[in-house]
């Protein structure tokens, strides 16, 4: 599958840090969104952020598409809130055992 490259700014929001993906993954890759956890659909992705490999997902929110960037990835990529980062992503197609894999929800404060 073809990779997609873009630059974005790491923003902090009520769901944690994320980078806006400037495209609709369903249209770009021709793959429908799938259930990630109860109540949330999106696209599992893998790629590189400032050259550091990662796995994450892209979800729609308010008509835009967002990729969460956890603190561990930020530290490894030496990129914090407000930093412009280089992102390369491709869809991570479902693998055997994915149905059993649970993406943890962020704890409410």
Give CA separation, 17 vs 66, 70, 72, in Å: 10, 7, 11
Q: What pLDDT digit, counting tens, does each position of 49-63 carry? A: 999 999 999 999 989
How sure is the predictor about 13, in pLDDT bands with cuts at 50, 70 and 90?
A: confident
Q: What is the mean pLDDT of the chain?
A: 87
* Number of CB atoms found within 10 A of residue 55's CB: 10
Of 69, 77, 42, 38, residue with least CA distance to 58: 42
What pTM value is reported for the model?
Answer: 0.80
How sure is the predictor about 96, in pLDDT bands with cuts at 50, 70 and 90?
A: low
Contact 8, 19 (CB under 8 A): yes
pLDDT surpassing 70 at residue 106: no
């Amino acid at each position: 599958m073809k990779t997609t490259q873009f630059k974005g700014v790491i923003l902090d929001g009520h769901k944690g840090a994320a980078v806006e993906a400037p495209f609709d993954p369903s249209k770009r890759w021709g793959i429908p969104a799938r259930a990630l956890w109860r109540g949330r659909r999106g696209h599992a992705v893998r790629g590189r952020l400032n050259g550091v490999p990662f796995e994450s997902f892209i979800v729609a929110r308010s008509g835009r598409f967002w990729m969460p960037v956890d603190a561990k990835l930020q530290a490894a990529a030496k990129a914090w809130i407000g930093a412009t980062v280089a992102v390369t992503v491709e869809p991570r197609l479902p693998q055997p055992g994915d149905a059993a894999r649970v993406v943890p929800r962020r704890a409410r404060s």
